[in-house]
Structure 1
């Protein structure tokens, strides 16, 4: 069926009244199970989400993430929660299927129906890789969306919040170059991730400006997680000519690389220098403490919350993408390369 799907369309298809369809959408109990099932099936077939009801009490924002919680996402969540509390807004935290898990396209409309039925004002995603079905359902429901560090760089119209990843990547690499390193590897996240691309390009830009070659095996991309840093670090350190320094795309990846070095009898920073990205709590708990690029994760979460509320109020935002400044935090995990 083409054209806009309305309550009347659903009612006609199901052979019931518009009032009955409305009762089903609002979760009323005075509808027989058979009728309810028939209406829900018609709604599912047409991916009907409807419009969100006008909020009656405190505004509520949906905050969702994909995959596993880690040190990065926890700090962003903290920023969203604190900003929500200051704005008098409730934040509901939920998880979505990881991007590598099977997706049920019909689930997208059902998810948005659940959000609109409970009066959500807006949705905020953390490092989310949203499908076309997700975005279409959000658009039909007119539910504003803001994403912190989206994983899909092919979605430029999404309102997003991030940091100056290119400048951060360049600063980390320039610091390692200033220590005398030339064999520097990049151990990063998903190739489709916009923030990963920016950090890697900053790394490549600094290396090119210094006239330092980057062999293809010196760039290793997977996820921003500890286990990926462990695997990537092992792969890099087992090369015939391993790097003397690693710039990691996240603190957790950096810690994984440090463990890979330790398992091979290498010392950090005497035998291998490592620089991370994020400046989460794990950077300060590491031994040695991790030199890293700080991005203001809690402020990024707060900006995402305030931007989502602006969109929900029908206000225009200055930019579809906001970047907050990064800066290099020098600690103990990087030093001059060992003398042969």
Structure 2
């Protein structure tokens, strides 16, 4: 996202509309002595340029303001990240407002203009990436954006916070190899997403280093959710020979694979070892507790919040993409082959 664009002035809007600054001022102040067509044109250009009235800027200049956190799905994973962002917000004296991603289709720049006018200092999005059009609008209103755990990094430069996905995939697979497993399958997320590719490359790197071939049918890239794990886990276990271990690149998909195994009369971990990825409360609630790659989810939320505030304050940050270390947590779902 471009840094510190020049603030839009009334003169800028007036020049674009081909009217005087006085006319633009009348529109802003709700005066009636402006022709309807001119009023409509000026209002459209105010939104297009992301103009924020000085009164709104003064109103929020000395207040701590808010940070918007857009999230489309509440689950154990997203809840942990939200908790981290809220805790960091309390420490920094700002409120974190959680809500669904805005869909500005057909709405021009109104949504971004309203955020700034309401005192929003920065925007954080979780897993979903803002579009280039959204980023352009946010840049015009000088609202910084931080993306948490993006499935894909946007083409437009944007600051993001994630985890060491490659290292996580590597450590999960090395753990299964150390237990003597050789028929190890990978149950991944959407094939083209960056985080899935990183976790899968970590898996392949460990298998290649150990000299263990991976049959094509042992790689399943569909999704990170429970139904995906249930469906694709069943497909893996119906193979001949079936894998003795599964590395699932999502925690919910790991639980789906466990259920698919139990439906076939298999025991976990005696007949099938399973490793997940995330380490939310679900990992310790399942039976047996899940061996998993821990993402520091609360820390990711906190780092995103602090980074967003630094950007809002005009500070320079060291890196556009911040990666926090993952850690393998061994529990009861894995056993020696």
Contact 2:132–2:156 under 8 Å retained in 1: no
* CA displacement, residues 117-162 of structure 1 (integer Å, 9 cap, x when unaligned): 2121110111112222112111222211111111223537211111
Residue in 2 that maps onto 1:81: 86
SS of the counterpart of 1:106? coil
1:82-101 residue pairs with structure 2 within 5 A? 82-96=87-101
Report how far residue 93 of structure 1 moved. Answer: 0.7
**C-alpha separation between the residues in 2 aligned to 1:285 and 1:172?**
20
Give me the TM-score of the superposition, normalised by structure 1: 0.85
Residue in 2 that maps onto 1:43: 44
Residue in 1 that maps onto 2:184: 184
SS of the counterpart of 1:203? helix
* Residues 1:256 and 2:256 are matched in the alignment: yes
**C-alpha separation between the residues in 1 aligned to 2:146 and 2:154?**
15
Report how far residue 321 of structure 1 moved. Answer: 1.1
**C-alpha separation between the residues in 1 aligned to 2:295 and 2:37?**
49
Contact 1:188–1:220 under 8 Å retained in 2: yes
1:180-219 residue pairs with structure 2 within 5 A? 180-219=180-219
Structure 1 pair 180–147 and aligned structure 2 pair: CA distance change class (3 A):
same
Contact 1:7–1:21 under 8 Å retained in 2: no
Could you tell which deviates more after superposition, 306-315 or 207-216?
Answer: 207-216
Which residue of 46, 53, 58 corresponds with 2:57? 53
**C-alpha separation between the residues in 1 aligned to 2:37 and 2:264?**
62
**C-alpha separation between the residues in 2 aligned to 1:214 and 1:96?**
39
Contact 1:151–1:190 under 8 Å retained in 2: no
Structure 1 pair 21–205 and aligned structure 2 pair: CA distance change class (3 A):
farther
Residue in 1 that maps onto 2:71: 65
- Give the unaligned 5+ runs of structure 1: 98-102
* CA displacement, residues 159-184 of structure 1 (integer Å, 9 cap, x when unaligned): 11111111111000000011111111
Give me the TM-score of the superposition, normalised by structure 2: 0.86
Contact 2:168–2:326 under 8 Å retained in 1: yes
**C-alpha separation between the residues in 2 aligned to 1:171 and 1:207?**
11
SS of the counterpart of 1:121? strand
CA RMSD of aligned residues (A): 2.9
**C-alpha separation between the residues in 2 aligned to 1:93 and 1:37?**
37
Residue in 2 that maps onto 1:127: 127
* CA displacement, residues 243-302 of structure 1 (integer Å, 9 cap, x when unaligned): 211111121111111111112222111111100111100001011100001111001100
- Give the unaligned 5+ runs of structure 2: 1-7
Contact 2:147–2:161 under 8 Å retained in 1: yes
Report how far residue 21 of structure 1 moved. Answer: 3.9
**How many residue pairs get matched?**
322
SS of the counterpart of 1:284? helix
Residue in 1 that maps onto 2:4: none
Structure 1 pair 259–9 and aligned structure 2 pair: CA distance change class (3 A):
farther
Contact 1:10–1:43 under 8 Å retained in 2: no
Contact 2:24–2:42 under 8 Å retained in 1: no
Contact 1:44–1:109 under 8 Å retained in 2: no
Residue in 2 that maps onto 1:19: 25
Structure 1 pair 122–21 and aligned structure 2 pair: CA distance change class (3 A):
farther
Contact 2:27–2:43 under 8 Å retained in 1: no
Structure 1 pair 20–248 and aligned structure 2 pair: CA distance change class (3 A):
farther
